[in-house]
Copies of this chain bind each other. A is one copy, B any other.
Amino acid sequence: MDKQTVTIYDVAREAAVSMATVSRVVNGNPNVKPATRQKVLDVIDQLDYRPNAVARGLASKKTTTIGVIIPDLTNSYFSELARGIDDVAMMYKYNIILTSSDENHDKEMQVIDNLSAKQVDGIIFMGNQITDELRTAFDRTHAPIVLAGSVDPKHQVPTVNIDYVAAVTEAVSNLINRGNKRIAFVTGSMDESINRDYRLKGYKQALSEARIGFDDGLVFQTDYSYKAGYKLAKALQDVKATAAFVGDDELAAGVLNGLTDAGIRVPEDFEVITSNDTRFTEMTRPRMSSITQPLYDIGAVSMRLLTKLMNNESINEQTVVLPYGLKKRTSTK
């Protein structure tokens, strides 16, 4: 039933050489006489031989496959990172097993074991709650791991990201400088350390630098979704906020449109600044001011770092922090 598959053995026989020699030419080993190489190449061509990567993986203990764990494929922030990862993975001839975790801890655990069973050579993990359990899972995996666009408060796992604290501080200070005193802090769950330990810290820092008291009531935890943001309009008015820092662009788009649809003028009556500078920022009206970050590069650099780890190359820095910026568009004055 199977399309008859031609193996290295067939090639060896036809070319009247040993399997070892065929293997050598396939793998570009220089220790082959040019004439032999050519003969083998011809037979390969003629037989349309294609090496079986699974067999190769078993024998060599390298699969040239890496695992990528992504919380949500449809979130631009992550898919932009993924594009960076994908590009350099391809450059280095790695395939990607892409698995969604849905930001679900059990699934993350399961997925790691699963990737491990598939003998991936490395793993790129996106997700913002590096629990101890997760660390354990990381540890018992033979494959090196790097965190992309995520954060490890304990600085144990190699990571590529930006300085979230500084970025948020700057964004919020920017809002403060224009006279805003009641600035809402809108983002995902505080269970995520990127929110709890980084963004919130930046927010508080900006407040304290301006000697503005912190008000719990201005902190909104919600889903990273347009809808969730849209629904926040009323609450935002109720707490008399005049501006908001938002941790996700789709969420911010929801906030923006919710406000607008409720008759609040942005930016005249309410300023909005968001975090990820994805394509959404250009699509809304007004267009959203944002922290800018090199999304593609974060992915690309993560993957590059992973290749080094997989080759046991020496690493200068476990954590690489890429530059961020601030882009003023029209959702702020």
Contacts and interface: CB of A to CB of B under 8 A. Distances in A.
21 contacts: A3-B142, A48-B140, A50-B116, A53-B118, A53-B119, A54-B58, A73-B82, A73-B83, A73-B86, A74-B76, A74-B79, A90-B99, A90-B100, A95-B97, A95-B99, A95-B115, A95-B118, A253-B283, A260-B285, A283-B284, A284-B284
Interface residues of A, number: 51
A108 interface: no
A257 interface: yes
A57 interface: yes
A237 interface: no
A97 B64 CA distance: 12
Given A58-B58, A73-B83, A226-B283, 19 more contacts: A48-B140, A52-B117, A53-B119, A54-B57, A54-B58, A74-B76, A74-B82, A74-B83, A86-B99, A90-B100, A95-B115, A95-B118, A97-B98, A98-B98, A226-B279, A257-B285, A283-B283, A284-B284, A284-B285
A170 interface: no
A178 B142 CA distance: 64
Interface string A245-273: 00000100100010010000000000000
B279 A250 contact: yes
A223 to B, nearest CB: 13
A92 to B, nearest CB: 13
Contacts of A277: none
B117 A51 contact: yes
Contacts of A76: 74
A48 B139 CA distance: 14
A86 B58 contact: no
Contacts of A284: 283-285
A107 to B, nearest CB: 9
A307 interface: no
Contacts of A283: 226, 253, 257, 280, 283-284
Contacts of A99: 86, 90, 95-96
Interface in A76-95: 76, 79-80, 82-83, 86, 90, 95
Contact of A95 (B114, B142, B250): B114
Contacts of A58: 52, 54-55, 58
A65 interface: yes
A116 B49 CA distance: 12
Contacts of A63: 54
